[in-house]
Chains A and B, each alone.
Chain A
Amino acid sequence: MADLGRACLLLALAVCVYGIGASLYGVRRRRPEFSESGRRAVYALAGILTVAFVVLEVAFLRNDFAFNTVADTSSRTTPAFYRAAAVWSSQEGSLLLWAWLLSLWASLAVFLTRRRMRDVAAYATAILLGFGGFFISLMVFYATPFATTRPAPVEGVGLDPLLRFPTMMIHPPMLYSGYTLCTIPLAFGMGALLARRVDAEWIRAIRRFAFAAWLFLGLGILLGARWSYSELGWGGYWGWDAVENASLMPWLTGTAFLHSLMIQEKRGMLKVWNVSLVLATGTLAIMGTFLVRSGILNSIHAFGGATLGVPFVVLIGVLIAGSIYLVVSRREMLRSEHRLDSLLSRESIFLANNLVLVGLCFVIFWGTYFPLISEALTGREASVGPPWFDRYTVPLALVLVLLSGIGPVIAWRRATWANARRHFLAPAGVALLTLIALLAAGVQEKPFAIAMFCCGAFVFASIGGEFFRGVRARRAMAHEAVPVALLSLVRRNRRRYGGYIVHIGMAVLFIGVAASSSFQHASELGLSPGQSARVGAYSIRYVRPTATITPKYDAAHTGSTLSLGAVLDVTKHGRHVATLLPSEGYYASEEASQGTVGSLIGGQPVSHVSMDAGLSRDVWTAIEPDIETPTLQKIVSVGNRTLPPEDAVVAIGYLARSYLQHPPQAQFHFIVSPLVMWIWVGGLIVFGGGLIAIWPAPSAVRRRVRMRLRARAAHGLARA
């Protein structure tokens, strides 16, 4: 079946080449049948890549270790769910996932635009097939997922233990959906420029795709942060890692675009800005993919294997040069139709919001790519760490949250200072009361965190006031009960109120970030069984050690040969708070030099954190057992000398029993973080608000609204 997969890749590449040619020929020579054939090439690509993906998926599920990628990332003992998801844990499989998702989203985009702006769609089709052809070429010439080895190995290496976590398996499809969806607006933006049809229609066509890209990217980022917090042993959720930043940058410019496109829709303004944002977002998405695939920067996400850096650099160079050329050469037709009516208007606030978002993106871009730039200029590698990023991003984030509370309260086109003062009075008062309450409670250090709490309170009061006034207006018109009025209000104004919910979610998220990062208590504790230590107001007692051996006894299905841990009892003011069960998993390695027993536990150890999550705080801990004691090492060395490979696991049993009977002191990383839960809750609120904003109204409702507004427009002018 590997032959079928390889044939699919070759056929897919041929379809891409044909589709590009047919689309361009069709639009340039005004032969619509060729444009239509080019559009069908996208559908055909989706079908072919689906077959290829299924071939690889079946190989994983059937443990077909003749496939190199299956042998390198899966094993017979890997649980079925992780085997199914292991497809995208390798370089080659992730390229296939990327290309497949691109083909699916591109098929949807060209289907929805099949009857409109055919010239723009034809160019967009060619560009999307170009992206598809690029990724398929990487698989055909550099990193094929269908490479095989005969005879096939009996067993595979297994999945990286760090990836045996449900959210980590869903994280790549979400993130890749976001990246691939970013290419849809880029393709249609370029198509509009190439076809010289930079009117509002292409904006309307790609609006939902831009929103979907923003949603999926955001969800992928959140899942990655959750994995980092719950699985890695450092207790944090964001480390300004290069690959984390690479996904955040297109999300920031995408957020800016979703706001400024409203200005273009309403006022015909910011056309150059919007098309530049769209092109930048798509390019940043490709650059993000480049960072993960090339291993050019140090990152926990870095994939081993052959570098794909050169082809990516060429593609990114073509994208940047092409984008600049198109925008500059079409600048005359991108002139704004109107100017700002007033600085005190929602348009102005959106513009300020855009500048802050792009500023944030620039800061992160500089800090992420600085090592490369530095090395290119000086020959020495340099890097910037979290303190540098925090110094510049925190103030910008504060301004962003504040603007998210101001914007909803300001009218479009113009607002009066009297109205603005009236609507800002209550939110400002709430923010001030929050400040007083915090100071009175003794929270005086960490001024940025305090400022974020006050800004968050401002946002809640501001948007809460909007909902209150909206429901009151709805009840005055329709005489509905409050819950019904609220539902009607949101249903009839999905974009507006969905957006408000997103703003609330972001404020909640930023409050969680500010609290957990500024008021965290963290300690490194060395404890033996029976010993206790204090961390802030909490008392931690090491009750007893734990030990489990072999995958089939490992309830977490982590695949570890041996897992050593502890039972910790956590109390506060004498009251029981939680029982924590951290452990460290030891995995098999392929180093024969470690011996028959040593190689069973000689792989990269993985920490399995234990936490008690709550609305007000998380109590989090990780353990680092001491496996280097003379007693335990003696068991390993005796086992290496005397036991054949098939009996080596007996020594692991002795090792576990010895650890339980004579547990050495273990190191514990213990953290109490306030309000971490609200980061995830805030993310879910953002996601929910985004879904509301993007959800289309039923067509019957749209027709009724259109007819009513048409009558109003005519009636009002007849009266005048």
Chain B
Amino acid sequence: MSLLVLLLIAALLAVVVLVLSAPLRAARRAPEPDTPERDELEVAREAKYREIRDAEMDYRTGKLSREDYEAVDGALRAEALEILNRLEG
């Protein structure tokens, strides 16, 4: 094994150790806490917005009658508002 290869291996090892140990060596500070409920609500909000747009698209392209669209749209908007209220609550 040549000296160059040895130095390269040593350098690689040093970089790896530095990278892996950095979080352990950093000053102890509390990371942002996970907010699973909020994250889930944000995902649900995006999905609900997408549903509202899809329903509108379905109506405008004639797949839903006006009565069906109004019923579905009303339900979706109610669900969306509930999600928004829970996000702000």
CA distance A117 to B38 in the complex (A): 11
Query: Does A469 sit within 8 A of B, measured CB to CB?
Result: yes
Q: Which residues of A contact B44 (CB under 8 A)?
A: 200
Q: Are B43 and A200 in contact (CB under 8 A)?
A: yes
Q: Are B43 and A201 in contact (CB under 8 A)?
A: yes
Q: Which residues of B contact A116 (CB under 8 A)?
A: 34, 39
Q: Which residues of B contact A529 (CB under 8 A)?
A: none
Q: Who on chain B is nearest to A410 by CB?
A: B63
Q: Which residues of A contact B36 (CB under 8 A)?
A: 117, 197, 199, 201
Q: Who on chain B is nearest to A466 by CB?
A: B61
Give the contacting residue for B77; candidates A423, A470, A712; CB below 8 A: A712
Shortest beta-carbon distance, B64 to chain A, in Å?
Answer: 5
Give the contacting residue for B57; candidates A200, A201, A496; CB below 8 A: A496
Q: Are A33 and B23 in contact (CB under 8 A)?
A: yes
User: Which residues of A in the span 411-466 have a Cβ within 8 Å of any Cβ on B?
Assistant: 411-416, 418-419, 422-423, 466
Q: Which residues of A contact B53 (CB under 8 A)?
A: 493, 705, 709
User: How many A residues, CB 8 Å from partner?
Assistant: 64
Q: Are A411 and B81 in contact (CB under 8 A)?
A: no
Q: Who on chain A is nearest to B67 by CB?
A: A416
Q: Are A40 and B24 in contact (CB under 8 A)?
A: no
Q: Who on chain B is nearest to A413 by CB?
A: B72
Q: Which residues of A contact B13 (CB under 8 A)?
A: 11
Give the contacting residue for A469; candidates B62, B68, B81; CB below 8 A: B62
CA distance A714 to B63 in the complex (A): 25
Query: Does A43 sit within 8 A of B, measured CB to CB?
Result: yes
Give the contacting residue for B32; candidates A115, A204, A423, A709; CB below 8 A: A115
Give the contacting residue for A34; candidates B24, B51, B72; CB below 8 A: B24
Shortest beta-carbon distance, A195 to chain B, in Å?
Answer: 9
Q: Are B16 and A470 in contact (CB under 8 A)?
A: no
Give the contacting residue for A44; candidates B1, B19, B73, B81; CB below 8 A: B19
User: Which residues of A in the span 11-65 have a Cβ within 8 Å of any Cβ on B?
Assistant: 11, 15, 18-19, 22, 32-34, 36-37, 40-41, 43-44, 47-48, 51
Taking A3-B9, A710-B80 as given, write out 14 further A-B residue pairs in contact, using a Cβ cutoff of 8 Å, ordered by the A residue number.
Answer: A7-B9, A11-B16, A34-B23, A117-B39, A118-B34, A200-B43, A201-B39, A411-B63, A412-B51, A412-B54, A470-B60, A473-B60, A493-B57, A713-B77
Which A residues lie at the B interface, using CB under 8 A? 1, 3-4, 7-8, 11, 15, 18-19, 22, 32-34, 36-37, 40-41, 43-44, 47-48, 51, 115-119, 197, 199-201, 204, 265-266, 409-416, 418-419, 422-423, 466, 469-470, 473, 476-477, 493, 496, 705-706, 709-710, 712-714, 716-717, 720
Which B residues lie at the A interface, using CB under 8 A? 1-2, 5, 8-9, 12-13, 15-16, 19-24, 26, 28, 31-32, 34, 36, 39-40, 43-44, 46-47, 49-55, 57-58, 60-65, 68, 72-74, 77-78, 80-81, 84
